[in-house]
Amino acid sequence: MSDLKDHSTQFDPAFVLIRLPDVEKITGLASATIYRRIKDDPFFPKPVPLGNTGSRGSPVGFVLGEVQEWGRRRMTMR
């Protein structure tokens, strides 16, 4: 049990995957805009496939640290 507690205190956003609703909340963007950014913005975080198939509609996640960094970049651009 103490091992679990030790790991939970070592939270590293570079290794945490979040789902699209979380990306929407963090960025303030709608899902359609997020997918447009993935396609057109080379700096927007790319999704990580969570399934074994590459087919459209397969589940994806996003690296929390990359989403946060994108937001930081946007803030510095203002």
Q: How far apart are CA 46 and CA 38, in angstroms?
A: 6
Q: Please name the fold of domain 2-77.
A: Multidrug-efflux Transporter Regulator; Chain: A; Domain 2 (1.10.1660)
Q: How far apart are CA 23 and CA 63, in angstroms?
A: 10
- Give pLDDT tens digits for 31-42: 999 999 999 999
Question: For residue 47, which amino acid is it?
Answer: P
Q: How far apart are CA 19 and CA 31, in angstroms?
A: 11
- pTM of the predicted model, to two decimals? 0.81
> Nearest-CA neighbor of 70 among 54, 50, 59, 33?
33
- Give pLDDT tens digits for 50-69: 988 777 778 999 999 999 99
